[in-house]
Amino acid sequence: MTTTTHAAPPATAPPATAWPGLLAAATDACLDALLEGAGQDWSRPAGGLEWACRETLDHLALGLTGYAGLLIARPTDRYITLFASLDPQAPVPACLEGLRIASSLLGSTVRDTPAGVRAWHPWGHADAAGFAAMGVTELVLHTYDITRTLGPAWAPDDALAAAVLARLFPDAPPAPAGFGPFDLLLWCTGRAALPGLPRRTEWQWDGTVR
């Protein structure tokens, strides 16, 4: 897998104020890529996932809306009770509109959440920047999964991958020579092996504020 830019992950994650823009950039890039495959068979599995491509879209809507909800409700020990889903009868372009709505809700919530707020997540209680990083991660990884099946081959700008590596995967090793941040993110999330780094069978990010 090749990526568009080869840049080392930053030593520190981007500032909180940068994350709404990063989320918006990820959303635009991912939805453009997914729209190219709108006429394909979305009942096939998405990449190496057990979910169908269409089910993966629903997972994205649930995740993006759920992250916004967690920041709003700020529970300390549980998920929120609101679950979002896409209309199962809607055509794919309309479902992508739903994903844009969900991402916009998350971006607005991130922008409006005070810096000191923390909310529960099973992989580390996080601040607004952490939940934005989770949203970017979900978008770029599942767009990658879907386009592996539907084509054309896709990868995000490495600046997005570098940002989420710094925020959510602080213990990630350096990428081997010739590989960029998105290649490393695929390794971190069990999607690929890299030279000297066997494919992971278990993984999770760390949303804890550092």
The pLDDT tens digits of the residues spanning 120-150 come to 999 999 999 999 999 999 999 999 999 999 9
The pLDDT tens digits of the residues spanning 76-123 come to 999 999 989 999 999 999 999 999 999 999 999 999 999 999 999 999
| Distance separating alpha carbons of residues 106 and 51, to the nearest angstrom | 24
Tell the residue number behind the tokens 């729209």, with chain if given.
35
The vertex-29 CA angle with 147 and 61, nearest 5°, equals 75
Q: Number of H helices and number of E strands within the chain?
A: 6, 0
- Going from the N-terminus, what domains does the chain have, and what CATH number goes with each? 16-188 (1.20.120.450)
What type of residue is 43?
S
